[in-house]
Chains A and B, each alone.
Chain A
């Protein structure tokens, strides 16, 4: 519990920065919607018929002139990318930062077992991502209410939950990489989040790349899909859960056995 609290304390500043950054961009977009709604009225059909581009961003499924459609293409993208990058950074830095900052020797020679260290750090990551999701859920609802629009609560709830699962999967994979590496790997974490996001876009453009939806967590957390279907696609989400659990098991297996750098 001491390490868990310590981790939350150590991450509070970056959490505040990422939350304020992503939430303010999302809220700004929501506030833009009434203006955009008027000016884009005639362009809705055009946006929906831009072939691969429309498919990639889901504009062929929901009209961009509705809040759900606007949310799916604009706000959902910002939240997915912002949340994904934050989750990747949390995971990739969790263990390796102790070795790059040379604090590992201090931490590992107290009375904490390696499993205890992994569990404390993991619990802090889960808490931070849960708080990140909950606070954004509140921001989405508040911002919608402030512009006098109502958003489908069921879809929004599923979207936020799916994004949280996506973030947990990214964080888990990066956590495993962090357990492997003695270097910071921040670039690897950010790169992984961006590559997986691009893979989701590609999987939507061509049927030949549809299999990618089982690789990237952004596929089951896609805002447009969730707002159209009012739910989450079960199989890719389950695959995501299995990937996350496998990554965590790998992290525990590796980290409890390897040498800790001075």
Chain B
């Protein structure tokens, strides 16, 4: 496979459920060797996008290449080289953890015992337990082992850290970074901004089925919008002011309007302090989600 190819290249991917929205004309690409975040609140279309890519649901329109292969016609070859973990990991309840991990490797026709043992040790997975005895977090850990044990070229993780305790979350990202430093690409969806900020180089933001931004984490944080804090005012009514947080003697908001209009609005007000700065990624995130189409 040529190194110049994208790990994931999605073009106009659309999925509708009758008259209901799924995802609409989603396009973005993920470079090889990067950790790419896919941000969005619950129901935004993250899982629908991923489930389309994994061939679990048929898209209504659009195209995608995964590791340079067509996601519809070359699915079998793609799956050999991808490790996937769904957001709600479920296995066969009567099976032991060791049997589940072995089954996933056997289906792939691979002997993954060494890698699986390493992963189980680092993630503290008890392989003798039955799946029905496992908590959500422990099932998630088994899902991570199943997704990583065959050392795939691409990870596709759908909200991988939900249900994991902070120590295991840290261990998980350490593992991801180790694999990525060895050439693996990681695409992960999340609604936890902090982990995307901390571990991802680039991210896409999806809202109500539509992609609203794709950029580096740094650029996403540098929009025209400003984070404004005014001390001495309890409220403000101004076009372009969004996500307004009112305190006893201060007001904070994201301002996406003309700066002169803001200054004009404050001209005759008795304020004691004014701070205008670049918004944090959290602010940007809220800005995107808080704005109606």
Among the 9-residue stretches A47-55, A74-82, A102-110, A153-161, the one with 4 or more Cβ atoms under 8 Å from chain B is A102-110
Q: Check A229 for interface membership: any CB of B closer than 8 A.
A: no
Is B55 touching A108 in the complex (CB atoms < 8 A)?
yes
Among the 9-residue stretches A143-151, A220-228, A254-262, the one with 4 or more Cβ atoms under 8 Å from chain B is A254-262
Contact A110/B104 with A257-B58, A260-B56, A262-B47 known, Cβ cut-off 8 Å: yes
Is A103 touching B90 in the complex (CB atoms < 8 A)?
yes
- Residues from chain B with Cβ under 8 Å of A102 in the complex: 88, 90
Q: Which residue of A lies closest to B89 (CB)?
A: A106
From B58, B79, B92, A110 is in contact (CB under 8 Å) with B79
Is A10 touching B86 in the complex (CB atoms < 8 A)?
no
Cα separation A109 to B104 with both chains bound (whole Å)? 10
- Residues from chain B with Cβ under 8 Å of A3 in the complex: 107
Query: How many contacts A-B (CB < 8 Å)?
Result: 62
Contact A110/B107 with A259-B56, A260-B56, A262-B86 known, Cβ cut-off 8 Å: yes
Q: Which residue of B lies closest to A104 (CB)?
A: B56
Contact A10/B88 with A110-B79, A111-B76, A111-B79 known, Cβ cut-off 8 Å: no
Shortest CB–CB separation between residue A99 and chain B, in angstroms? 10
Q: Which residue of B lies closest to A108 (CB)?
A: B56
Cα separation A2 to B110 with both chains bound (whole Å)? 12
Interface residues on B, range: 20 to 34
Shortest CB–CB separation between residue A251 and chain B, in angstroms? 17
Is A109 touching B58 in the complex (CB atoms < 8 A)?
no
Is A105 touching B86 in the complex (CB atoms < 8 A)?
yes
Write out, one digit per residue, whether chain B residues 51-62 have a CB within 8 A of any chain A CB (1) or not (0): 100111110000
Write out, one digit per residue, whether chain B residues 76-108 have a CB within 8 A of any chain A CB (1) or not (0): 100110101010111111100000000110111
From B47, B80, B109, B146, A106 is in contact (CB under 8 Å) with B146
From A10, A111, A112, B94 is in contact (CB under 8 Å) with A10
Shortest CB–CB separation between residue B65 and chain A, in angstroms? 18
Shortest CB–CB separation between residue A13 and chain B, in angstroms? 8
- Residues from chain A with Cβ under 8 Å of B107 in the complex: 2-3, 110-112
* Contacts beyond the supplied A109-B54, A113-B76: 9 A-B pairs with Cβ under 8 Å: A102-B88, A106-B86, A106-B89, A106-B143, A108-B55, A108-B56, A110-B104, A260-B56, A262-B47
